[in-house]
Structures are given as structure tokens and as C-alpha cells.
Amino acid sequence: MKTGKGTAGDTKARILDATERLFIEVGYEGTSLRQVTSRAIVNLAAVNYHFRSKDIMMQAVLGRRLDPLNTRRLALLDACEARWPGAQIRCEHVMGALFVPALQMAREPEVGGPSFLRLLGRVYSDTSPFIQSYLLSHYAPVFGRFSDAFARALPEIPPQELGWRLNFALKALAGVLAGDELGNLLPAFTQGKALSDAHVLAQLSAMVVAALKAPVPASQQLCALQDVFQIGETQHAEEHAGQAALSALAAEQAQRADTLSVAVRKTRRAARNEGATRAAVTSMAVRGAREHPIVFPSNPLDDWMRTRSRT
């Protein structure tokens, strides 16, 4: 028989598991407490008892996965820097320290399991202010350590340039590893052969490292893109002018229709008023005729006959 403590622990774990699955599926904004209670088969009181709010619950979900991940990452980076000190470290070494622990945890059900990479991809791609703030406040030292290591491995890239390249490249790699399409991509990478995680990561990171090492755009590339932008702006201006002309024509036609409608209403109103006046005059004449009947002069022969009958 389970004790009360064990039961409470099971309830909390079910809530965290349900929240994690929902977060992977619909992100932070799409995850609601009502959905969590339905998925975890608990009531709202249990959620409030263990976490008090959605934000606290989400922090617990992220913390139980990302804290062990970053601990492993830093330990592996320390080992790599000790083995390849200073400028000896390569970009691939730093990339491995960043992603090898994630691949390891994806094969360990007790600390993540198969859905762990999908969770990681959602964390990197979720744009909600809460997730972004949480990552910056909790893992800024980790990001700083890896940024410094990449800078030593890529001294030829200016720091500002390297910063946004890392942000783009690492999110792209995390998105591929976390996506369902990875199962479709692997056969193309492996050509039907069974390859290790190292081989898969090498295939993917090769493209990322190439992007990080790409030379700064030359003047010819910049001029070519500026020409395309100029063509696009011209087309946009012409399209905007055409739409403005159509809108003006439609407004003019609408105004004409309103003017015509007003004129028609005035004509109809005048006709109704004239008809009402004529009807009133006719009615008055009829009433006058009824009130003052016409009296014809008497006939002398009739008067004589009436007088004779009385005598």
C-alpha cells in the first residue's frame, strides 16, 4: 500500500509529466491549467497545492530537465578545455560539449528519454516572454561559458558577428534534433548504415560549423542584395500606388451612389408630399359638399299642388 507521501509524490510527478508533454505540443502560451489537470487526471486543487501557479509549475518542469543537462554540459566543457587548452580547442569540441549530453539524456528514460530532445527544441524556439526570461535569468553563466569557448575556437570572427551566428546556428541545430523529421533525415545521412550519435552529430554540426566560419559578406554580395531590395521596393511602391488608385475609385463611386440615392429619396419624398396635398384638397372639397348640400329653387306648380291639397 502506498503511503500518503508516496501518493503526493506520484501526483506531483504526473502533473510535471503532463505539463511537459503539453509544453512540447503547444508551447508555454498554449498550456493551460485546465489541460494539465485533464491530462494528469488530477483536480485543480492538487495543482495549486504543489505549485500555486502556472509559472512555478513550468519552472519545475524546465528545472528538472535543464539543470542536469547544463551540469553535464559544463563538466564536459571543462574536460575539453583541459585536454585542448587555449587556442587548441576546436569548434567541434565546443559543439560536442553542448549537444553530446543532450543526446545522452535522450537515451536515458529516468532523466528525459526520447521526448527530451523535443523539449529542448521547444525551449529554444518558444518565443513567450516567460521562457526567454527564464533562460536568461537561470542559464546566463552557461551561455557565457560556451560563448567564450566558441570565441577561442573561432578567433577570426568578430565577437558581435559571432554572437548572432551562434544564436542562429545553435537554434537551427537544436530544432533539427528535436523535430519529428529527424527520423526521415537520418537515412539520407547514414545511407542505410547504422551510425552512432557521434556520426549523426558530426553530419549535422558540419553544416553549423561551416555557417559559423563563413566569411563576412563581401561588398559584391552586399551590392547584389541591395539591388534586389531596390527592385522589391519599386515593385512594392507600384503595387501600393495601384491599390491606392483602386481605393480612390471605389470611394468616388460610393460617393456618387450616395449622392444619387439622396436625390432619389428627395424626389420620392416630394412626390409623396404632393400626393398628400392633392388628397387633402380633394378630401376638404368632399367634406364641404357634404356639410352644405345644394338647395334648388322651388317649382311654382309644385307649390300650387301642395296648397290645393291642404284646402
* pLDDT cut 90: percent of the chain above it: 35
C-alpha cell recorded at residue 53: 501557479
> What per-residue confidence (pLDDT) applies to 210?
85
Q: Which residue has the higher pLDDT, 263 or 33?
A: 33
> Quick one: which of 124, 129, 234 has its CA closest to 174?
124
CA distances from residue 84 to 74, 144, 274 in whole angstroms, order as listed:
15, 19, 105
DSSP-based three-state secondary structure for 218: coil
The domains spanning 1-52 and 63-215 adopt the same CATH topology: no
Residues 48-93 have pLDDT tens digits of 999 999 999 999 999 999 999 999 999 999 999 999 999 899 999 9
Q: Which residue has the higher pLDDT, 129 or 170?
A: 129
C-alpha cell recorded at residue 137: 535569468
Residue 153: pLDDT above 80?
yes
Residue 284: pLDDT above 90?
no
> What per-residue confidence (pLDDT) applies to 130?
93
Query: Sorting pLDDT into bands at 50, 70 and 90, what band is 3?
Result: very low
Residue 301: pLDDT above 80?
no
> What per-residue confidence (pLDDT) applies to 4?
43
Query: Sorting pLDDT into bands at 50, 70 and 90, what band is 190?
Result: low
Superfamily of domain 1-52 in CATH is Homeodomain-like (1.10.10.60)
Domain 63-215: which topology? Tetracycline Repressor; domain 2 (1.10.357)
Check: CB of residue 62 under 8 Å from CB of residue 117. Answer: no
> What per-residue confidence (pLDDT) applies to 279?
67
CA distances from residue 20 to 36, 70, 252 in whole angstroms, order as listed:
9, 18, 57
Q: What does the pLDDT average to over 225-235?
A: 90
DSSP-based three-state secondary structure for 99: helix
Q: What does the pLDDT average to over 111-139?
A: 86
Residues 196-222 have pLDDT tens digits of 777 778 877 888 888 888 877 777 888
> Quick one: which of 143, 98, 121 has its CA closest to 23?
121
Residues 160-187 have pLDDT tens digits of 888 888 888 877 777 776 665 555 555 5
> Quick one: which of 135, 166, 139 has its CA closest to 153?
166
Instruction: Give me the residue spans of the domains in the chain.
Output: 1-52, 63-215, 224-292
Residue 257: pLDDT above 80?
yes
Query: Sorting pLDDT into bands at 50, 70 and 90, what band is 115?
Result: confident
Query: Sorting pLDDT into bands at 50, 70 and 90, what band is 286?
Result: low
**How far is it, in rounded angstroms, from Cα 211 to Cα 177?**
17
> What per-residue confidence (pLDDT) applies to 184?
56
Check: CB of residue 35 under 8 Å from CB of residue 23. Answer: no
Taken as a whole, the chain contains a residue count of: 311
> What per-residue confidence (pLDDT) applies to 173?
76
